[in-house]
Structure formats: C-alpha cells, structure tokens
Structure 1
C-alpha cells in the first residue's frame, strides 16, 4: 500500500473505483480462522435471546454465585438481568487472570504525551487496584457511595475505576477535556463522596493546572469529603488540609490485600453523564452483571479477539462510554493487552499513531471517523512511512462513517486486507448493538450492517411505530439486552419519558434516524433532529456530508439546516478542502454536482 499511499492521484482513482463496489466479503483466510464464522449464530440467538445471553455470560465470566435467573421483565422498562447472581467486576478484570498464571501479561502499553513508555502487567494493575481500594475504604468510602474520577489518559484511571468496583463504590468518570465547572455539576448531581484527579494534565506540550481549576469550583459541595490527587506532571498544586490527599502516599500506606467482594448482579457499577435535550445532563446508570456480559461478549466476538496474541487499541478516551467499555471493562474482562494513548493524534507529530502501531505491534484498531477524516486531510503519505502489517482488523465508532472514509481506512490503513467493523451503539446501550461480524458479514461502506446476535432492532414508521422493511424511519430496540442502562440516576420519570414513552414501555427509542436497505442492512443517519426538510423532502445531514466528502478535493464537511423563505429550510455546508486546494466558483459547482449525483437536486 505504500506506493499508493505516496501517489495521491492513484489513490483517489482507486477509491473512486471502489465506491462502485456494493459489498466487501470477509477475506477467506480471516473467515477460516474467525471465532464466529457460521451465520447460524443469529438464528440460535433469535430463537431464545435470554437463554443465549445467559450462556454467553457463563461462558465469558466466572461468577461467584452463578445466576439461575435470566431476564426479569415484570416491571418494564425497569429490566433486570441475572438478578440472583453474584460477581465482582474488578475480580473479573484482574484476579482471575492473575490466578490463571497470566499476571505477567501486559494489560496496558501506555504511551505518554511526551513519548514516555510504560507497560503495566495484570499483576501490577491488581496490586495497585487492591491498594487504592483499601485506601478508599480508609477514607470512608463505602459500598453504594459515588466516587468522581477526573483524569487524563493514564493507567491510574483504570486503577481508580476498578478500585471502586472492587468495594462496590459507584464511579462517575468525567471526561478530562471537560471544564472544572462540568465536574462540579456532575459531582453535585451524583452527590459524590470523593473525587480522584491530578495535579495537572498535558496536551500538545502544554500543562493545565487541573487541581487548581478543580479547587476553584468545588466550594460548598457538602457531600464531597475527599479529593485524591495523582502526581501526574509534578507541578505544584494547592492542597486543602483535612480534605486533600496524594494518591501515591495513601496507596503506599494501604494494606496490599483487598479481597474482591461479590456484588449483586444488579448492583450499580457506574454513572456516566451524557448530554440531554434539556440543559441538565443525563446520568446513565449501568449495573454489574449485565454490563460485563455485554461488553465481554461484544469485545470478544465483534473484534474476533485472541487475548494470547492480539494487541488491542481502542483510540478513545475513558471519559466516554467507548473508553469504559472497550478500554477498561471489555478488554480486561477478556484478558487482552491494550494500547492506552495519552496524547493528541498529531503530537509530537502527525505520524504518532502509526508509529505506535508499528512499535506495539497493534493488531486491532478501533477509532472514530472524525480521526480517520483528519488523517485523510493530512495525506496517505504519512501512514505509508510506517509498518502497519501487524493490523488484522479495523473498527469504527462514535458516528456514521461515510463510504469514502471507510474505503480510505480500508485501503491505506488496512492495506486492503483488514475487515472493518463499523459499529453503532450508545452510552445508554453499554455495548455494541449493530455491527458486522468480521468472519460472517459482507460489509457495505457506510453501513453498520445488522444487529449483534441477541439484539432486536427495527426501523419503524415515526407515526405508527410499525416496522419499515425498506426505507427510512426511527431506530428502535425492541427487546431488553443485558448491558442496557437501568435508569437515569435519581430520575426514573425522566428515564421513562426519554426512552420508553413514544411507543410503550417495552420498546426503547434510540433517538436516531436510520434506514434499511433491500438486504436488511441498517444505515444510521444521525440524531432525529439532524434532518433538514427542503421543500417537503427530508434529507439527512450525514448523507449530504458523505456526498460532499466524496468529492476528490474535500477533506471534511459539516451540514446544518438554515431557514429559507422559499423552501422552508436550505442546506448550509461548511467545507474543509483537502491539501492546498483553493476555493473557487468552479469547485463550488463541482461539489454541488457531486451532491446532485449522489442524492438528487
């Protein structure tokens, strides 16, 4: 692929040619070796989803008390899974792997902002987690208490989460890029008893004084008794006597032994706040047994994971659900070796990701289309400088990926040999819901394809709720699944109103528009409000964006609706041109023609 990578014109011609290919079958060699290669898995799961999920849970997890109950649907939409089972998430992610003789396996290849390298083994992660769990108990944190976590991408973020899980505390992680004001809001809503943060955080060579910023916002929070500070950058930071303690000191003084307490399957594991349609964020609540089942199963089988040989890289942040599920709980439950990346994609240089793939031997990469489009803008000659031959599978997450970006990812990063799993899911779903299975599914660039086994999804008419066999409508999840949110933290009424009021309390309203094609494949269009109505015609902004980006001189596009006297709404597009391309009237006309050709006038 290196020759094509350095010849932009040849690559562009190849991608244009490949846009005409409707389906990409799994490579024969991949299919032969895949964990799942028989399509009968879908029929097996559909015949009895509860029994199927229960079997996956017992296959992938070691329960302290194995559940005899599957789904309790007696009080919809407040569903419960595996209710009589007992399990500890920390023990599933750490203790059992160490006990099996895999303590020396690397859990995280951490790569720091300034090029630091730190390999953390399962045994080391377990030791740190035990110590911090005991330290939290010494600070008065008990089962059911909420602990806030506001950290950059450092291994201690996993330690903090797993230490909470070990003692039954509920963690509430806030994305490290959010403001201290956002942290306060989330700590206040959740009535957090403790907060774990850092002295400072680095981004592109600059250090932000995180602890100082936190202090400026945390005054008057009656529930917050302790702030634990990790010395990450070594900068000076204010410490309030009687409230603030250093992570390193309390861990050094803590008892190194801390048995994991078996938790009820429905014991809350974490809260994760996400944007709502109103001003206040929604506190998505996930519980232990069902969530672990969902993320362990999807991580293992969507990505065909071989923990003995694979090096997994989910290039997300733990502050989002993708990081919870596919940097911490899913990979660790499966005993995987992961890459944990602290910095920005272009720091210290634009080839930093590909250098990391080369150095770690990463075999699976799971990234967002936003990142992929950025790499397209930078040019294929950058990844062409590195050896990416270790990669065997690629994934996409976070938003629909346009076909051209899919093909670039496939050809330039995957060398044309790596299947791509384009996944759809949400904070609320806990784990992947719609996705190809790489050893089974023929993929279509831009489509998330079909639901994961055991997941029931439909596209329905927005007025009647009736399924749409082919066409556009609302995306619905029709049956409960183990990793689903249980409620909105302390807001049961809002939970029902937001997700289960439109078509009854047994059908989950996703909030996304989607369409199904003639083969039954799902194409997620975007949020329900990401649709513009032009002269009575409903157009997805994502579809228009994909059409614009298909133009050879376009790197990125964002589309919104704009009020128009004649048509009701008009399309307004913000376009980033590729390379050194200059704007011109001719280029404007060419982009319009591209949209007309792909969508219509």
Structure 2
C-alpha cells in the first residue's frame, strides 16, 4: 500500500500546508477519498466554535474497522498486524496477521452481540496490554458500540466515576495484569468499582494471570467460554455496522482543572482520516516497517498510534505488556533487536529514567533496524534529546518531538521524520490542516517571531474533540469560551525566529506528570478526603525523571504526631481514590495557606516556593495573612 498523501520533501510540506490553509475542505476531501466509504459525504465541513459544533464528512457512511482490517485482506492479509511482546521475556511472543486479527475481531463482535451489546451502547474496557485489548476495542467499533478504555493504573473509585459518567452497562476486563514484577488484580478492582454501579449488566473476563477471582452469577462471564459458544455456531460473520461519519467512536477520560474527569468524545470518520494521515507523515511510515509505540492503550497515544493509525495504514504495530526497566533497563533495546523495530515512539519520562541506568543496558544491543525515534506526552528536555539521538539513534535517526492532546486526537505540531527540520526541545512546525496562533491574556493575537503566548488553534482539523460526554457546556467552557472563535489548548508556547513552536507547559491548573495530565483540583479533592486533612493546595515543580512532580501543601490535624506516617496515610488515600499515578512526591505540612481576602489560594506563590524560587515571590500585600508565606518558605522540603 503506498500513500499518495505522504509528504516526501520540505517543499512538498510547504505546498501541502499552504493548500490545507487556503482550501481546507478540498485538502481533507482529497485525503479522505483514499479510504473505504459505504457512502460518500454530502458536505466536507460544517462548523462554528461558539456552540461548538463541528461536523466533518457530513452524511458519509463507513465503519472504521473495514478501513483497519477488511480492506487490507486482499493485498496483505498475511502481513503481521500486531506483534505482541509479553511482560516476561521468557514467555513466547504472539503475532497476529491481518487475517487472524480480522477473524478474532469478528468472533468477539459476535460475543458482544450474544451478550446484548448493540450500536450506541457504552462499553468500559479495563485490561492489561494484551492483544485481546486491541481486539475488544475493534470489536466494539465493528458493532457500533462506544468504547471507553480505562488505564490499568486507576483505582476502583476512578473507574466507578467513569462508568457512571458514561452510563456504561457493559465491562470487559481481565482476571489480572502483569506489569514488571507486579501482578495487578484488575477483576477485584472492577468488583470494588461496581459496588457503586448496580446498572452494569455484563462483565466479560479474560484469563491472563490466573488470579483467583469472584464471578457473580448472571453478571460475569469468561471470555474463553463466550468464544467457545461462538465457535459452536460455526464461524458466523459479523458485517460491520454502518456508522455515520459523526457517530461517536470512543470516549476517553482526561483530567481537567476541576475535580471531575471529563469524557472526551471522538467520532468515526474525522478521527480515522487524521490519525492515519499523521501516522503516515510524522513517522514517514513505509510498508513493512515495524512500529513500536510504548504507550498503554488506556491513553490517547495508544488509541491513535498502536491501534487506529497504524492499522488503518496497513502497518505492523508492536504492543508491549511490560515496563522499560524490567527485568532490567535494557528491555526496550532487547525488543528493538528481537523484532527488528524501525520506529520507536516513547515518552521523555521513559528516556530520562533509562538515562539514569547509564550506557551498560545498551551495550551489545543491535539497534541498526531503527529509522525513526519519537517522543510524546510532554516536551523533551535537551539532555534527554541528545542522549536519545546519540546512544539509541546513533545520530542516524531523526527524532520527532510530537505535541498533541487527548482532545486533538492526533499529532498537531511535529517535525516529519527526515523531511522537515528538527530542533531539540521544539515540536517545530504544525501539521497540514493545523493553524496555531499565540494570544495574550486578553485574547489579542501575538504576531511575528521570537514571541511567547497562550497556544490556540483557529480552525478545526478532522479529529478535534466534538463534545465532553453528557455535558456539552463543559466542552464549550473548557476549550472554546476562553478566547473567541478559537480552540484553547491550555498550553503556553514560544515561537522562535524561524517560526518553530516550543511548548512551555500548562497555563491552567493541570499538571503534566510523566506525560499524564492530572488536575490539581482532582488531587486536592483526594487529599481532602483523608480524615486528618483540613485543607490542601497542590502545585507542580520540576522533577528530574517525571518532568513535573506533585508538591502538596497540607493543613493537617491528624492525631498520631509522626509526620512520615501521616504522609504515607495521605499518599495511600490519593492512590485509593485516583490511582498511584497521582501520588504527591512531596507533602509539606503547614498551618495556613496564602489566601487573598476573598479566600482564593495564591498558587502562584506556592508554585514559586516549590520550584525553589523563595526570594522573588511578587506582591504579597493582598494576602489575608502575609506571615504565612514566611512559614511556608522556611519549611520547604
């Protein structure tokens, strides 16, 4: 399969970009024409950012799985679609060809049908990184059910919140999952979550770890038993459900600046076209390449660049169950050597963590198959960029530093591997179809180069967020109400003399910890649930490995006088309510917080203290009790 829309030179990039701005509808219609449609669209784009209302390929009919699976069967049904590398290197890896994956998706689509799952139903998926996770996602899409994948590190309370918000009556999970030397009891966590979700009708459980689990009669069924039932029916086909271009494909929950996670909704056609286009161009994918995205499918990166982007392009996608440091810090490089990986796409946090082990884990590893290195989730610092370039890519592999979000669906700003210029710490240039603009606090556009401001996008791209599930007003206020007629990313940005973009971090109350967005309000709410806590304030601070760490200032009136034990109690509470990813790195006990007379916490001051900038704190005269600042400064951890 060749890609007529693959950009092959800087001049071609400039021409594609110009066309995408001058004639966006003609540009995207040209790309969409290369996919399989049951019925072509009536109108390419209908939009306004006020409501917001965004509809791409209006009137078009399709099913994304026909584009990810069926259309490839004739030409390369025997090509590997998914290579699965298990957590334990001693366990044998699995390879699923496009034909095998297609058969398994059809089989599981029949399981979904037999269990009462229909078009429009919401299905919560909480599984480890096994091939059956990708099969479940694709089977949902095939029957027209809306999948909502939840990362395996979230707590029972976080899962319950998401199941209730999506009103998901169906759950797919595993008995447990392997991650490094840990076994995670997924089914037990689901059972705890479902105490609050009595409306759930069916839980389908895959066997992976053979952890003993409780199976509730009438609600819980084993994946394997359900597959056997389908097999006794012969081998029934499951023609893909015809979907409207704007029918929801999935809901993915992300943290915002308030405590409640928001369900980002992506739709079928625009998301498919954009993830395919960005996959083919950013990574300069060539047929036969092995693409290794190290993310979890529980995050948007896994949705877009393990499942939908690569499979719609007929690529071979490598899925890894484990972690980069187990059984030792050479695991990524073992996988690259074993499977002759051509593209590796990982997070700066993983790179910084591996840097800490020195060069020993890289010794003797054959990384000569690598052609492209990628980073995602947060800006990569210069030291990590150079280490990745020198020791992994041997200065022969372009590094694509991709900036995008759950809400954008696919890569927004990035260099194209070996085609457009790279610059350490810079995401560089926008993808065709993406029109970035920097604005000041008043929403006035900041023109020219060598300037900084808040990053907005002035025109829709096909995979832009359509709504937040069940609460369209929240979508409007979060993304479209801050600056008129623009999508607000929530990120600050610098544009250099050459017009290249560098993301400088969040400008709202959201932290970026190890590439995962966590709302400060969400962490504060969890800390405040602890019986001994009166009040708390959470800010980010620079962290050598994670990029940003979580620093919590806590007013505590607990009883047992042992600060370390109290800190552990609070950390445990956060883990139970949100999950281990949100645990504070530092907890400083204080007697008061810097508040204005109206009661607003001055997080700016707390952020500066946490960052170690204790002298230049700005004007504190508006505070109710300026003396509290000295106490906090003196007690800094």
TM-score norm. by structure 1 comes to 0.83
Matches within 5 A, 1:226-375: 226-254=202-230, 255-306=235-286, 308-375=287-354
Tell me whether 1:390 sits opposite 2:369 in the alignment: yes
Tell me whether 1:457 sits opposite 2:431 in the alignment: no
Match of 1:497 in 2: 477
* Aligned partner of residue 100 in structure 2, secondary structure: helix
Distance 1:530 1:489 in 2: 21
Structure 1 residues 568 and 321, CA gap change in structure 2 (3 angstroms): closer
* Aligned partner of residue 438 in structure 2, secondary structure: strand
TM-score norm. by structure 2 comes to 0.78
Match of 1:485 in 2: 465
* Aligned partner of residue 202 in structure 1, secondary structure: strand
Match of 1:597 in 2: none
Matches within 5 A, 1:168-207: 168-207=144-183
8 Å contact from structure 1 (residues 558, 573) kept in 2: no
8 Å contact from structure 1 (residues 557, 573) kept in 2: no
Structure 1 residues 92 and 558, CA gap change in structure 2 (3 angstroms): closer
8 Å contact from structure 1 (residues 128, 251) kept in 2: no
8 Å contact from structure 1 (residues 200, 210) kept in 2: yes
Match of 1:587 in 2: none
8 Å contact from structure 1 (residues 90, 162) kept in 2: yes
Match of 1:406 in 2: 385
2:106 maps to which of 93, 112, 130: 130
8 Å contact from structure 2 (residues 8, 419) kept in 1: no
* Aligned partner of residue 400 in structure 2, secondary structure: strand
Distance 1:157 1:270 in 2: 14
8 Å contact from structure 1 (residues 315, 365) kept in 2: yes
- 1:440-493: CA deviations, max 9, x gaps? 321110000011011111111122331342311100011011001100001011
Gaps of at least 5 residues in structure 1 are 1-32, 533-540, 550-554, 575-601
| 371-380 or 351-360, larger mean C-alpha shift | 371-380
Gaps of at least 5 residues in structure 2 are 1-5, 512-538, 554-592, 596-603, 613-637
1:73 maps to which of 37, 44, 47: 47
Structure 1 residues 80 and 127, CA gap change in structure 2 (3 angstroms): same
Structure 1 residues 531 and 315, CA gap change in structure 2 (3 angstroms): closer
What's the RMSD between the two structures over aligned residues? 2.4
Structure 1 residues 234 and 456, CA gap change in structure 2 (3 angstroms): same
Deviation of 1:44 after TM superposition, in Å, equals 2.2
Structure 1 residues 298 and 236, CA gap change in structure 2 (3 angstroms): same
Match of 1:47 in 2: 22
Distance 1:46 1:251 in 2: 49
Structure 1 residues 253 and 558, CA gap change in structure 2 (3 angstroms): closer
| 478-487 or 247-256, larger mean C-alpha shift | 247-256
8 Å contact from structure 1 (residues 434, 450) kept in 2: yes
Distance 1:378 1:347 in 2: 12
8 Å contact from structure 1 (residues 147, 192) kept in 2: yes
Tell me whether 1:515 sits opposite 2:514 in the alignment: no
Deviation of 1:302 after TM superposition, in Å, equals 0.7
* Aligned partner of residue 431 in structure 1, secondary structure: coil
Distance 2:490 2:508 in 1: 9
1:438 maps to which of 417, 426, 442: 417
Match of 1:108 in 2: 82
Distance 1:571 1:45 in 2: 45
| 161-170 or 458-467, larger mean C-alpha shift | 458-467
State how many pairs are aligned: 521
| 363-372 or 235-244, larger mean C-alpha shift | 235-244
Q: State the 4+ residue runs in structure 1 displaced beyond 4 angstroms.
A: 555-565
